[in-house]
Structure 1
Amino acid sequence: MTRSDQHDRFLPKDKELRARVRLFGELLGNVIHDLEGQAVFDAVEKLRRGFVSLRKDEDPDLRRQLMADITHFDASLTERVIRAFSIYFSLVNIAEEDLFYRWRRAQVSSGEPLWTGSFDQTLRELHGEGVTAEELERLLNELHYQPVFTAHPTEARRRTTMENQRRVFETADRLNQPGLGEEERRLITEELETQIQILWRTNEVRVKKPQVQDEIKYGLFYFEESLFEAIPQSYRFLEKAIRRIYGVNPDGSLPVRIPAFLHFGSWIGGDRDGNPNVTPEVTELSCRLAMEQVLREYLKRVNHLRNVLTHSSFMCQPSQAFLDSLDADSNIANAVFQGASDRFESEPYRRKLYIMRYRLRETLDTVVRRVRGEAAVLPTNSAYADAQAFLNDLKLIRDSLVSHGDRNIASGALTDLIRLVETFGFHLHHLDVRQESTVHSDAIAELLRQLAPDTDYAALDETGRQQALSELIALENLPEVDRKALGESTRETLRVFEVIQSMRREVGPDGIGTYVISMTHAASHVLEVLLLGRLAGLAGNDEEGNPFCHLRISPLFETIEDLLHVEDVLEGLLSNPVYARLLAASGNIQDVMLGYSDSCKDGGILASSWNLYEAQKKIVGITDRFGVRCQLFHGRGGTVGRGGGPTHESILAQPPATVQGRIKFTEQGEVLSYKYSNVETAVYELGMGATGVMLASRSLIRPPRKDRDDYRATMHELAQAGEDAYRELIDRTERVLDYFYEITPVQEIGFLNIGSRPSHRRKTDRSKSSIRAIPWVFGWAQARHTLPAWYGIGTALAQWRGDDPERLAQLQRMYQEWPFFRSLLSNCQMALTKADMRTAAEYARLCSDPELAERIYVLVREEHSRTVTEVLRVAQLDRLMDETPLLARSLQRRNPYLDPLNSIQIHLLRESRQFDAEADDDTDENPWLSPLLRSINAIAAGMRNTG
C-alpha cells in the first residue's frame, strides 16, 4: 500500500460526519420542541430549510419572506432561535472533533505510518534523512516548546458551557464502540439528548463581565480538563515512535533519552498592558492558584500510586539509595503514621509514598492559606521546599524499581507523574508579566529625581538615557528610595517587581517567565526594566561579586514601524557591556517577542507577514553575532488576521535556522478551547507543534537550507504592493472607520462580557490606533468581510505578475517550494472562504451613508474577487481549499446555518441602535441587546473564530 493509499484509507468519511450531525440535529430538535413548544420549533425549522434552499438556488421571493419573518419575531423568540443555531454549531464542532479523533485512532490501531506531523511520521522522515539516535537525542535536548495562555477577550463561551460540551463529546464517543447492541445504543442516545437538554438550559452568555480572577481560573481549567492527561500521553507517543523506528537497547531502554521539552506559559494575571485590573496582588494570586492546582494533581496521583506500588521487601530488594532516603524520612514518620511509625515497613514503596503524600499536603496547606490571604510560613521540616525535592523522591522509586527488574512497572503511572513534575514543577506555568514602555519611562524619570538628582531623564536623548541607566545598574550599592515621596503609579510599578521576586521564592524560580515590554522603541526601554529589577533585588552582584540576573526581559515589536527598528534596539542593547554581563549571568538567552496582531492591523497581512519573517532573520543574525542565543516569542492570535493558522505548518514556515529548537507563542481565546478542551485533541495538537519545532530545528544537526534570493526579492515587492493597497483602503479612504463601526457589531462586542480588558484604548475614539487588534478582526469577521486576513494580496499578485507568464510561473514555484509563501496563501484561502460578499453587502446597508457604504463595499468586493482569482491561479487550484477538502466541506456545510444568524444579527443591530437612539434615558432596558449578544456568540461558534 502506498503512502497516499494508506492516507486515503483512513481519511474521515464525510458520510459518517453527516450521520452524526444529523443525529445531533434531531436530538436538539426534540429538546427545542419539548421545552420551548411548537412555535419556536417551527420558526427554527422554517429558517433552517429556507436558507439551505437559498444556498442551493437563489430565490428573491423566498429571501424576502424569510427576512419578513425575522423582522416580525419579538425579542424573546429571536433569542430562542439564535440559541438553537448557536447550540447546533457547538454540536457540529463536537461531531467534527470526534470524527478526526476516530480517524487518528484508526491509524494508530493499524500499525501503519501515521499522519503528517505525528511523532511517527516525523521520526520516519528524520531517520530516512540519516539522522542517528545520537543526533536525535542532541536535537531533543535543545527542544523547548512553549504555548502561552492569554486572557485576550476572544473566547465567547463560558467555562460552564465548555464543561457541558465536553460531556457531550464523551457521551457521543461511546456510540463509536464496536459491537454496540440496539438497547445500548438507545440508552446512550437518550443520555446524549439529556446532555443536549442541559446545554439548552445553560446560559452560554456571561451575565457579568469576568474579573481577572475569573480569567485566571478559566486558564487553569485546561490543565485539569486535559493537559494533566495529555502531557504523559504525548511523551508516550514519542517513546513508541522511537521504539518503532530506532529500536531499543538490550536492557529494554530507549536508545534516545527524552528530556522534558513541553512547557507552558501564561499571561493571565500578569498582563497589565492596558488592563488596570491586573494589580500586583492579582499577580500573586495567579501564581498561588497555579501552584495550588498542580499540587492537588500530584497529591491525587501519589494517592493512586500508594495503592499500586505494593511491593513487599520479601519479594524484591530496593536500592540502597532508596532505603537511605526512607531512613532520612524517619524524623517525620510519627506525624505521617500518627504514632504507628513502623507502618508499611515491609512495603517500602508504599511507606515512601505515604510520606510523600504527607509532605505534599503540608506544602499544599501552606499555599491554600496564602491564597486566602493569610501569612503562612512553609514548615521546612515536613513540607517539600521545592519541586526538585519531590522529583528526586519519585526518581529514587523509579530507579529502585528498575534495579530489581521492574522497569515495566516503573514506566507506568510513576513515569507519567515524573513527566508532569518535569513539565510543571510546583509553578504549573511560567507567568509572564507585560507592561507598556511609557509606564517604565515615567517611573524611571521620577525615581531618578532621587537616585541621580542632577539628571533630567525626560530631557535626555537615547544615548544619554542608556548611559544614565547603565551607570545606575552597575552601581554596587544603589541609594535608598523614599517610597512615600513617589507617586502612586511609580509605587505600583516597583511593587510589581517586588512581587516577581517574592513569587520566584514561593513557587520556584520558573514561576515567573519573561517580562514583556510592549511598544519597545529603544534599547533604553529594556534597560529601564532592568534597573527596576535591580531595585527589587532581581539583578546585581552576589556577595562574591559575581553578577546574577533573575529577570528575563523581552522587547515586543508590534507595528510595521517597530519591526523596521529591530536592529537599532537589539544592537544597542547587546553591545551594552552592563546589559551583556547580566544577560550572560541569566543564561545568555535573549527573548524577543513579535506582535502579529498590531502589525497586521497597521499595514495589512502581506506587509505584516513579510516584515515579521525578515525581522526574525535579522534578530537571529544579530544575536548570533553577539554570541547570544535567541528565543523568539510569537504573539499569534487565533485568526489568520492575527497570525493564526495550523501550528505545525506555521512553525515550518519560519525562516531557515531561526527556530533553533526553541519556540514560544501565545494561545488566545477560542484557540485554547479548540485545542485543549479534550484530552484527545490536546495530545494531537501538542504532537503537531512539537514535531514542527523538531523539523524546523534541523539546522542544529544539519546544514540549514537557505531561501532563494529571487523568491525573497519577489516577496519584498509583493509586500510593498500589498501594504500600499491595504493603506489605500484603511488609511487613505475617507471615513472608512465610520463604515467599520456602523456595519459591524464592534461597539456591541464591548458589552459581551468576554474579557476584563477594555476593547478600546480610548473610548469614543474612532481612529485605527484606538481600537485594539482583537475587536478589529472580530468585527470584520462577524460582518463576513474578514478583510484583515486577505486584503491587498490580490492587488499585489496581479500587479507583480502583470501579463508576464514567466512571473506567474515564478509565483507558482514559490507556492510549491517555499513553506512561508505556501502557508501564507493557504491561510489566505481559509479567510477568503469564511468571507461572504453577498452577506457582507447586507451588513453594508447598515451604514447611515449609502454613498459611503457603496463606495467602500465595492472596493472590498472587488479586492475579494481579485484575491480569489489570483490565489487560485498561483496555487493552480480550481476552488479555494481544494488541497484541504475536509476543512473546505466543513466551512461550506456551515454557511446555510450562518446565513440566518447573519440576517438576524443585521436586523438586531438596526433595532438595538434605533432603540438606543430613541430611548429617553439610560435606564430604559434595551430588549434587543441580549439576543444581539447571543448572535455574536453564535456566529463566532459557526465560523470557529472570533478575534
Structure 2
Amino acid sequence: MNQADHNDRFLPQDKELRARVRLFGELLGNVIWKLEGKTVFDAVETLRRGFVSLRKEEDPELRQRLMDDITQFDTTLTERVIRAFSIYFSLVNIAEEDLFYRWRRAQVSSGEPLWLGSFDQALRELHDDGVTAQELEELLGQLHYQPVFTAHPTEARRRTTMENQRRVFETADRLNQPGLGDEERRLITEELEGQIQILWRTNEVRVRKPEVQDEIKYGLFYFEESLFEAVPQSYRFLEKAIRRIYGVNPDGSLPMRIPAFLHFGSWIGGDRDGNPNVTPEVTALASRLAMEQVLREYIKRVNELRNVLTHSSYMCEPSAEFLASLQADSTISNAVFQGASDRFETEPYRRKLYIMRYRLRETLGTVSRRIRGEAAVLPTNSAYATPDSFLHDLKLIRDSLISHGDRNIASGALTDLIRLVETFGFHLHHLDVRQESTVHTEAVAEILRHIDPSLDYTAMDESARQQCLAELIGRGDELPQPDRAALDERTRETLEVFEVIRRMRGEVGPDGIGTYVISMTHAASHVLEVLLLGRLAGLAGEHPEHGAFCHLRISPLFETIEDLLHVEDVLEGLLSNPVYARLLAASGNVQDVMLGYSDSCKDGGILASSWNLYEAQKKIVGITDRYGVRCQLFHGRGGTVGRGGGPTHESILAQPPATVQGRIKFTEQGEVLSYKYSNVETAVYELGMGATGLMLASRSLIRPPRCDRDDYRETMEELARLGEDAYRDLIDHTPGTLDYFYEITPVQEIGYLNIGSRPSHRRKTDRSKSSIRAIPWVFGWAQSRHTLPAWYGIGTALETWRGDDPARLEQLQRMYQEWPFFRSLLSNCQMALTKADMRTAAEYARLSHDTDLSERIYSRVREEHSRTVNEVLRVAQLDGLMEETPLLARSLQRRNPYLDPLNSIQIHLLRQSRGFEAENEGNGDARENPWISPLLRSINAIAAGMRNTG
C-alpha cells in the first residue's frame, strides 16, 4: 500500500464532521432559545436558512427581504444575532480541530506510515534517501526551530473565551470514546450544552484596551495551556519514529542522541517599535513573568516525580555520583526537612527531589519578589542559580536509574522534565527587543555631542558614520559616559533598554534575551549604532584578560521592497568591518537577519514581495558564507497569506536551496497562535510539521544541495516585475484607491477594537499607505471580502507573461509541478482567492460616497480576481480552486453561507455608525455611538469565520 492509499483510509469523513457541526448547532440553538427567547432564535434561523438558500440559488427578492429584516433589528437584537454566528464559527473550528486530531490518532494507532509532514514520514524519506543514523544525528545536532510569539493586534479572542473553548474541545472529544452507552452520551451532551451556555454568557469583546502586561500574560497562556505538554510529546514522537525506522541499540537505547532543537521566542514586552507602552520596566517584567511561569511548572513536575520515584535503597543501589550529590546537599537538609534531616534516608530519589523542590522554590521566591518591585538577592547557597545546575541534578537521577536497570522508568516523566528544561531553561523564551532605526540614530547623535562637542554625527555621510562608530566600539579603554541628566528623555530611555537587557541576562540567564531587531534598517551604520549603545551599557567590548566579548545579537530587519534590494550593501558593510566581525565572532559567529513579509507585500504586492524575499535569502546566505559566518534567517511572517502566512511545513520546504541550514526562526501572531497552540493535540501536530519541514529543508548540511533552474528564476523575475507593476498601478497610481479602502472597509473602526496595545497607524491622522500598518491593511481587505493583498497582480502577471504562447504556458505548468517555491506561492494564492467573495465585496463597495470612484476601482478588483482565478487554475491544471486540498476547500465553502449574513449586517452597521458620527461630529465620544458595540462584534465574528485577521 502506498502512502497516498494509506492516508485515504484515514481521511476524515465529511459526514462525521457534518454530524458534529449539526450537534453543536442544535445545542447552540437550545441555548439561544432558553436564554434569549423566540425573537432572537427566529431572527438567527431566518438569516441562516435564507443565506444558505441564496448560496444555492440567487433570489433578489429573498436577498432584499433579508436585508430589510437586518435594517429593522435594534442594536440589542443585532448584537445577539452576531454573537450567535460568531459562537457558531468557534464551534465549527473546534469540530474541525477535533476531527483532524481523531484522524491523526487513528493513523498512529494503525502502526502504518503516517501523514505527510509527520516525523515518521520525514524519517522514512531520509532513510530511503540513504541517510544513515550517523548522518541523521549530525543533522539533528544542527537544528534550531524557533517560533516567536508576537502581540500584533490581530487576535480578537479574549483568553477567557479561549479557555472556555478549550473545555468545549475536551468535553466534545469524550463523545468519541468507543463503546459509549446512550446514557453516558446523553450526560456528556448535556455537559457540552452547559459549556456552550457559558460561552454565550461570556463577553467575547474586551471592555477595555489591553495593556502590554495583559498581552504578556496572553502570550504566556500558550505555554501553560499546551506547550509544556506538547514539547515532550513531540520529542517522544520523534524517538518513536527513530526506533521504528532506524532501530535501537542492544540495551534499548536510541542509536543517536537527540539534542533539544525546539526553542521559543517572544516579542511581547520587547517590541517597542511604534508602541510607546513598551517601556524598559515592561521588558524587565516580561522576562521575570516568563521565568516565574516556567519555575512554577518545574516545581509542579518535581512534586509529581516525588510520588513516582519511590525506589528504596534496599531494592536498588543508586550510582556513586548520585549519592555524592545527595551528600553535598546535606548543608541545606535541615532547612528542607525542617529539623527531620534524616527523612527519606532509605528513599534516595524522593529525598533528592524534595531538596530540588526546595531549591526551585527559593529561586521562584526571588523572582516573585522582583516582580512585586522588591529588591531581592538570590540565595546562591540554597537556590538554583542556573538551569544547568537543575538539569545536572535531573540527569544524575536519570543516569542512576539506568545504572540499576530502570531505563524504562527513567524514560517516562523524568525524561519529559529533562526535555522541558533543555528547551525552556529558566528563561522560558528568548525575549527579542525591537526598535526603529531612527530612534538609535537620534540617541547616538545626542550622546556623541555630549561626549565630544566637535562630533556632528548628523552631518556625516554613511562611510564617515561607519568609521566613527567602529573607532568608538573598538576602543580598548572605557568609553566616556554621557551625563544622563543632560540627555533628552527619549535618549535616556533608549540607554535604559540596553541596561535592562544586561540586567535581565544576569537574572534569567544569557538565553533570556534573544536578538535586538532593528526595523527600517537602511544602512550598516544602523547596526553599528546599536552595537555602540550596547557597548555603553557593558554588553560588548574588550575584556583585559579574555579579549573581545559581545552579549548582544543584532538583527537588521529588511521590510520594504527597496530595503530588500539593498541587503547586500548593508551586510557587506558590516561583515567587512574588522571591529564588527571580531565582536560577532565573540558572540558565536551567527548573523541574524530578519525579513519582513508584511510591509514588503503591502509595499509592492504579493509577487514582488515573495520573489524579492526569496532572492534576498540567497544573497544573504551567499554573503555570510563568503565571510565564514553562519546565518540565521528570521522570517517576519504574519498569519495570513497577505502577510507571508501559509502552512509552515510547505513554506519551509519552499525556501531557496541551501539557505535554511538547520536554523529557522519565524513570527507567530494573531489567530495563528490560538489555532496552533490552544490545544495540546494540535500543538504537537504543528510542532512536528514545522520541525520536519526544517529537517527536510536542511538536507544540504549532509547532502549536496539541489539548485534552482535558471529558466525558472528568469521567468519568476519577469513575473515579479509584472505583478508589482499591476499592484502599484492600482494602489499607488490610481487616484482615490486609499480613500476607497478607508470607506469600504471597517479599518477605521478596527482602531476601536480592544485587541492590541499598539496603534494601528504609525501617524494617527495620516491615511497614506506608508502610515497604515500592514496588519490593519490586510485585516480591512479581508473583512470586506476583497483579500486583495494576497493575490492582486498574479493574474495579470501570468496572463501577460504567457501571452498566446503554448510553450510558455507549459513552462509555468512545469514550474508549478517541480518548483516548491512556485507551487507554495500559487497554493496560498488559491486559499486567498477562495476566501475572497466578489459579490459581497460589491456590497461593501457601495459604502463609498463617490460611486464613480468605487465602481471604477471595484471593477478593476473584480476583473483581476476573475483573471487570477482563471490563470492559476490554468497553470495548476485544476478544475477548481483548492482541488488539491479538498478538506480545507470544503471547510471554507461550509462557512460562506454563515459569513454572508455577518457581512450584510456589518455593511448595515457601518452605514449606521458612520451616519451617527457624522450627525454628532464634535458633540461626543465615539463610545456613545450605539452602533459601535455590535460593529466590533461583527469584526470579531467575521475574523472567526474566515480564520483570518492579519
Aligned partner of 1:944: which letter? R
Q: Distance in 2 between matches of 1:531 and 1:763?
A: 32
Q: Distance in 2 between matches of 1:4 and 1:781?
A: 34
Structure 2 contact 481–536 (Cα < 8 Å) conserved: no
Q: Distance in 1 between matches of 2:371 and 2:161?
A: 26
2:145 aligned partner? 145
Q: Does 1:528 align with 2:529?
A: yes
Structure 2 contact 142–662 (Cα < 8 Å) conserved: yes
Q: Does 1:506 align with 2:499?
A: no
Aligned partner of 2:145: which letter? Y
The residue matched to 1:274 in structure 2 has which SS?
coil
Q: Distance in 2 between matches of 1:300 and 1:545?
A: 40
Q: Distance in 2 between matches of 1:595 and 1:100?
A: 32
Q: Does 1:553 align with 2:554?
A: yes
Q: Distance in 2 between matches of 1:112 and 1:480?
A: 66
Aligned partner of 2:257: which letter? R
Q: Distance in 2 between matches of 1:5 and 1:588?
A: 47
1:256 aligned partner? 256
1:895 aligned partner? 896
Aligned partner of 1:946: which letter? T
1:120 aligned partner? 120
The 5 Å alignment of 1:388-427 reads 388-427=388-427
Q: Distance in 2 between matches of 1:123 and 1:722?
A: 38
Q: Distance in 1 between matches of 2:949 and 2:481?
A: 49
The 5 Å alignment of 1:129-140 reads 129-140=129-140
The residue matched to 1:131 in structure 2 has which SS?
coil
Aligned partner of 1:936: which letter? I
TM-score (normalizing by structure 2): 0.99
Q: Does 1:584 align with 2:607?
A: no
Q: Distance in 2 between matches of 1:296 and 1:545?
A: 37
1:88 aligned partner? 88
Aligned partner of 1:773: which letter? A
Q: Distance in 1 between matches of 2:664 and 2:212?
A: 27
1:855 aligned partner? 856
The residue matched to 2:109 in structure 1 has which SS?
helix
The 5 Å alignment of 1:345-744 reads 345-476=345-476, 477-744=478-745
Q: Comparing 165-174 with 920-929, which one deviates more in the overlay?
A: 920-929
Aligned partner of 1:364: which letter? L
Q: Does 1:929 align with 2:908?
A: no
Q: Distance in 2 between matches of 1:882 and 1:200?
A: 36
The residue matched to 1:70 in structure 2 has which SS?
helix
TM-score (normalizing by structure 1): 1.00
1:309 aligned partner? 309
Give CA-to-partner distance per residue, 1:623-660, whole Å, 9 cap, x none.
Answer: 00000000000000000000000000000000000000
Q: Distance in 2 between matches of 1:711 and 1:861?
A: 29
What is the deviation of 1:455? 1.4
What is the deviation of 1:485? 1.1
What is the deviation of 1:922? 1.1
2:871 aligned partner? 870
What is the deviation of 1:250? 0.5
1:919 aligned partner? 920
Give CA-to-partner distance per residue, 1:782-802, whole Å, 9 cap, x none.
Answer: 000000000000000000000
What is the deviation of 1:764? 1.6
Q: Distance in 2 between matches of 1:285 and 1:848?
A: 48
The residue matched to 1:554 in structure 2 has which SS?
strand
What is the deviation of 1:334? 0.2
The residue matched to 2:68 in structure 1 has which SS?
helix
Q: Distance in 1 between matches of 2:686 and 2:748?
A: 34
Give CA-to-partner distance per residue, 1:511-553, whole Å, 9 cap, x none.
Answer: 0000000000000000000000000000011131510000000
The residue matched to 1:886 in structure 2 has which SS?
helix
Q: Distance in 2 between matches of 1:923 and 1:400?
A: 68
2:165 aligned partner? 165
Q: Distance in 2 between matches of 1:453 and 1:545?
A: 33
The 5 Å alignment of 1:270-349 reads 270-349=270-349
Q: Distance in 1 between matches of 2:860 and 2:948?
A: 24
What is the deviation of 1:451? 2.6
2:104 aligned partner? 104
Aligned partner of 2:255: which letter? P
What is the deviation of 1:763? 1.1
- Kindly report the root-mean-square deviation, in angstroms, between the aligned alpha carbons of the 2 structures: 0.6
Unpaired runs of at least 5, structure 2: none
What is the deviation of 1:923? 4.3
Q: Comparing 912-921 with 171-180, which one deviates more in the overlay?
A: 912-921
The residue matched to 1:881 in structure 2 has which SS?
coil
1:193 aligned partner? 193
Q: Distance in 1 between matches of 2:916 and 2:638?
A: 34
Aligned partner of 2:783: which letter? Q
Aligned partner of 1:260: which letter? A
Q: Distance in 1 between matches of 2:84 and 2:480?
A: 65
What is the deviation of 1:450? 2.5
Structure 2 contact 632–665 (Cα < 8 Å) conserved: yes
Q: Distance in 2 between matches of 1:746 and 1:350?
A: 59
Unpaired runs of at least 5, structure 1: none
1:772 aligned partner? 773
The 5 Å alignment of 1:56-67 reads 56-67=56-67
Q: 1:938 aligns with which of 924, 938, 941?
A: 941
What is the deviation of 1:3? 2.1
Give CA-to-partner distance per residue, 1:868-898, whole Å, 9 cap, x none.
Answer: 0000000000000000000000000000000
The residue matched to 1:868 in structure 2 has which SS?
helix
Give CA-to-partner distance per residue, 1:893-939, whole Å, 9 cap, x none.
Answer: 00000000000000000000000111261147111110000000000
Q: Distance in 1 between matches of 2:815 and 2:474?
A: 50
Q: Distance in 2 between matches of 1:551 and 1:372?
A: 28
Q: Distance in 1 between matches of 2:699 and 2:925?
A: 63
Q: Does 1:179 align with 2:169?
A: no
Aligned partner of 1:105: which letter? R
What is the deviation of 1:481? 1.9
The residue matched to 1:768 in structure 2 has which SS?
coil
The 5 Å alignment of 1:191-270 reads 191-270=191-270
Q: Comparing 455-464 with 445-454, which one deviates more in the overlay?
A: 445-454
**Number of matched residues?**
947
Aligned partner of 1:211: which letter? E
Aligned partner of 1:169: which letter? F
Aligned partner of 1:943: which letter? M
Q: Distance in 2 between matches of 1:775 and 1:577?
A: 42
Aligned partner of 2:121: which letter? Q
Give CA-to-partner distance per residue, 1:115-173, whole Å, 9 cap, x none.
Answer: 00000000000000000000000000000000000000100000000000000000000
1:836 aligned partner? 837
- Identity score, percent: 86
Q: Distance in 1 between matches of 2:214 and 2:486?
A: 35
Q: Which runs of 4+ in 1 moved over 4 A?
A: none
Q: Distance in 1 between matches of 2:903 and 2:726?
A: 28
2:805 aligned partner? 804
Aligned partner of 1:78: which letter? T
Aligned partner of 2:290: which letter? A
Q: Distance in 1 between matches of 2:49 and 2:578?
A: 71
Q: Does 1:25 align with 2:28?
A: no
Q: Distance in 2 between matches of 1:923 and 1:686?
A: 45
Aligned partner of 1:937: which letter? N
Aligned partner of 1:704: which letter? P
